[in-house]
Structure 1
């Protein structure tokens, strides 16, 4: 009798774990199976026998199923996964199903192994089918963009191409509509400098930290001044040309005409009496901006043709950035 009970619980527990691990709607499925077992086991018996049968054979398994559901379901992912987050990739024999792409996908393979054709293309088809917005980093010089361009034909999700070689559309990362307040200007100034100088804020220390902060303030002050006084010309090419064609005194007079811009660039303005400090700030910013001071990049960054708020609920879009 004891061996029968142990065998019953071991086999059913194993089955419940498999259901929760591999099948959708596991809690509902286990509950349905236990109800079916109860109907079969109690058929033709009285009420008291049915209660004892349920307490002895079914209720422990239902509690175990509930524990498995709580333990095996990741936080924030309770319940069934929505179809748009389940990707089915066709294989030679059958298909590969990714249950929840929100957890992230990593594709590892050697050059020429078929990563783009077999996996990336299937993912792009799925994203287009379910109207995903997003950014595509085309590191293969238009190969991925050509695939995506033929797929993203839905007018609800416009498809934009940003390339600094073959220019299709222009983009303006400092357009006034993205700069709601001083905090947003400070943030975009910091991001621009970290990427152009190829260093993180945590790396800078001592004198370099001071110069980086002063450069960030100067860049932020110039962006704010363009945003408020000359919104039509608030682009990186105009900012770079203005900076390169102005001496320190002219730049300070221009920034000082706006209270907020002057406050942002105060470290640079206050150091005008020290030629070494002024030269250090200007040279640091010049070294950063020279990396994007080319005719092609100027053209690509000269207008606001591509909306960068790609996940905006009113006008979502897909953007391909080509190396």
Structure 2
């Protein structure tokens, strides 16, 4: 190989030398008079010149000149100059074209009114300058790096991939129109969540567009397909108004029109009343245990990671005993959370005496009675006071008013009584309201996740602000019961903080459909790995003194790297969708901008009706309800204590 390169170099050098010799003969022939005057001629050179002239080389003035230039250009083809980065090709072309112009324009000098020697010198000098400029231009062109790497600094074109462009609709689907890029093209696509029963997780930092671009469409499209629905509205009435107006628009599509209910703790006139601990839904002691666990873990989120600890489980057992006692007393007419809170505030002797009268909870209450009789008050306070203090924060007339009524039941997908229920939180009071709403949601989920019910959609925006026990069980079994679950959250770390690492990972991994806006950190890395890799082109450039080496290859790399997810614009989403056996989707991954008709949505919002006023409520009614609950508990205590003291068979239950 080196020998061939050496031989080629010698040939090119000879060609360039021939060009110079030919140009020299051109000068000598047409400037012979001047050379003779300078006595630079001889018989040998004259005979040589005559022999060359017989070939016809000088038959025309420019023939020899053009031939010399052609030989020079041929010699330049093989030049391998030292490559220089950022050297534009126009520099070399400029030198070359300028040199050619001067090279041929020099012929005009013969028309100048000068002596033969003067014209010859001028012609020789100008032509030589043009010849040298062409040579310099060719050398510069040989130094230009002709291979250019792609100008895609952020590798955006390589990270594009084909996406689903079909509109796949069914009786349950959520279909979001979108745009995506494929190389240099912008194409239309569809994000088809054709099986929402496998769970939908919507991720995105504040402002990413979760509610505006995704969740509102989940609500409107499911209501248009006659779903019963529960909406957890963290910033009521944002989503509740959307759901209410969609309900008004599409209620004619239901076989049996549903009823619309709201729970709004800050505006009681627009709030219905509902008892999450209603006796009919409290079938056995395990229901009371789940309810007590939910309410206490919702009030003390750090307890979620401490489940199994002695004092945590003791507090849960204590509240369980109180709730089940109210469930059994008087056929459950006082089985509400406000009554349980008030009952817990009794002094230990009276409270334990009353609770021991119920045989089913005796095993739960005995450890507390033993501690009380043995004088282990410090241990007892640790077991009981944590529950009493936590629940005391719920001792609010407004909460008591909502929690003690019964405008509706939580079986929202009952075919005979379908419902659409919206419950609202308040970001300033999220810890208190969130605990109560957690109780509502847990009771509701248990009632709706059953066979033989109507199709149901659960929309839980800002999901980490409530505690839903056994959410993994809901996601695992909801598909067979036609319960579509949509969870909205900002970041995986938020879920991990409130639910614990193990539970958070289960929620992330078990969800079949995923739509994510701008996310960062571990969330972005995990999603990037979940979305997989695509084949990408790679080009590398190596420059040395004489040559440029280009290497092109293909390799698998992340279709959407974590850094890309951190820079997504509002309305731009990535994710995966799940399919059905009878409705396959080969292109499940997507990366594009969801298309909203902003003008149409603004017109629609301008025509929205506000949430309806349920009933006028004043402070006097709320306070009267608050005092009534306290009086009912006092009457219960007095009647129970009297019954126990007057019955010799129950006298041993008195705790002193």
**Which position in structure 2 is the counterpart of 1:303?**
405
User: Which of 90, 96, 105 is residue 200 of structure 2 equivalent to?
Assistant: 105
User: Which of 288, 292, 301 is residue 189 of structure 1 equivalent to?
Assistant: 292
Report the alpha carbon displacement of residue 247 of structure 1 after superposing the two structures with TM.
0.3
What is the rounded CA distance, in whole Å, between the counterparts of 2:284 and 2:200 in structure 1? 36
**Which position in structure 1 is the counterpart of 2:215?**
120
Contact preservation (8 Å) 2:311, 2:382: yes
Report the alpha carbon displacement of residue 224 of structure 1 after superposing the two structures with TM.
1.2
Contact preservation (8 Å) 1:217, 1:267: no
Q: Is 2:320 the partner of 1:220?
A: yes
What is the rounded CA distance, in whole Å, between the counterparts of 1:118 and 1:187 in structure 2? 35
**Which position in structure 2 is the counterpart of 1:83?**
170
Q: Is 2:256 the partner of 1:161?
A: no
What is the rounded CA distance, in whole Å, between the counterparts of 2:353 and 2:259 in structure 1? 43
- TM-score, scaled to structure 1: 0.67
**Which position in structure 2 is the counterpart of 1:264?**
364
Structure 1 segment 1-323 matched on structure 2, within 5 A: 83-90=170-177, 96-98=190-192, 99-108=194-203, 111-112=206-207, 114-153=209-248, 154=251, 156-167=257-268, 168-200=271-303, 202-204=305-307, 209-230=309-330, 231-244=332-345, 246-273=346-373, 274-323=376-425
The residue matched to 1:239 in structure 2 has which SS? helix
CA RMSD of aligned residues (A): 2.7
**Which position in structure 2 is the counterpart of 1:12?**
none
**Which position in structure 1 is the counterpart of 2:485?**
none
Which piece of structure 1 moves more, 222-231 or 247-256? Answer: 222-231
What is the rounded CA distance, in whole Å, between the counterparts of 1:96 and 1:280 in structure 2? 56
Give the number of equivalent residue pairs: 243
Contact preservation (8 Å) 1:214, 1:265: no
Report the alpha carbon displacement of residue 248 of structure 1 after superposing the two structures with TM.
0.2
Relative contact order, CA 8 A, sep 6+: which one is greater?
Answer: 1
Unaligned 5+ segments in structure 2 are: 1-163, 180-186, 426-656
What is the rounded CA distance, in whole Å, between the counterparts of 1:263 and 1:177 in structure 2? 24
Report the alpha carbon displacement of residue 204 of structure 1 after superposing the two structures with TM.
4.4
Contact preservation (8 Å) 2:172, 2:225: no
Distance 1:280 1:84, change over 3 A: same
Distance 1:187 1:204, change over 3 A: closer
What is the rounded CA distance, in whole Å, between the counterparts of 1:101 and 1:268 in structure 2? 47
What is the rounded CA distance, in whole Å, between the counterparts of 2:395 and 2:420 in structure 1? 27
What is the rounded CA distance, in whole Å, between the counterparts of 1:227 and 1:302 in structure 2? 14
Contact preservation (8 Å) 1:217, 1:266: no
Which piece of structure 1 moves more, 99-108 or 128-137? Answer: 99-108
Distance 1:148 1:191, change over 3 A: same
**Which position in structure 2 is the counterpart of 1:51?**
none
Report the alpha carbon displacement of residue 159 of structure 1 after superposing the two structures with TM.
1.9
Contact preservation (8 Å) 2:306, 2:312: no
Report the alpha carbon displacement of residue 252 of structure 1 after superposing the two structures with TM.
0.8
Unaligned 5+ segments in structure 1 are: 1-20, 25-80
Deviations 1:48-69, CA, capped at 9 Å, x for gaps: xxxxxxxxxxxxxxxxxxxxxx
The residue matched to 2:393 in structure 1 has which SS? helix
> Greater helix share, 1 or 2?
1
> Greater strand share, 1 or 2?
2
What is the rounded CA distance, in whole Å, between the counterparts of 1:191 and 1:114 in structure 2? 30
